[in-house]
Amino acid sequence: MQINRINSQPNFKAVNQKYFEWAKKDYNLTKDVSLDWIQRLSFDVFLFKEISRKDAIDTVNAVKKYMNKTDECMEALLENLRNPNS
């Protein structure tokens, strides 16, 4: 899985472009990210360990900034990513 640095958001170190572009597409269609997006990101972090927690946090934060507002599912994902015991 490729992680690319983004220059337009200097406060984010690494954003997974696959998930960022997927979230943008979802948001443009439905004004929210899909539950499939949240589940797949969670699986890639917690189950498959293909994405680091830090990269996932940066990705979620970039998506939140893009969306301007989020729901409790996105906030719960972010909280789980930040919790080292999960």
* Of 81, 71, 9, residue with least CA distance to 34: 71
CB 68, CB 23: distance < 8 Å: no
pLDDT in tens, 44-80: 999 999 999 999 999 999 999 999 878 899 999 999 9
Query: Which pLDDT value is given to residue 36?
Result: 97
* pLDDT digit string, tens, across residues 54-63: 999 999 999 9
Indicate whether 39 pLDDT > 90.
yes
User: Which of the residue ranges 6-10, 21-25, 40-44, 54-58 would you say has the lowest mean pLDDT?
Assistant: 6-10
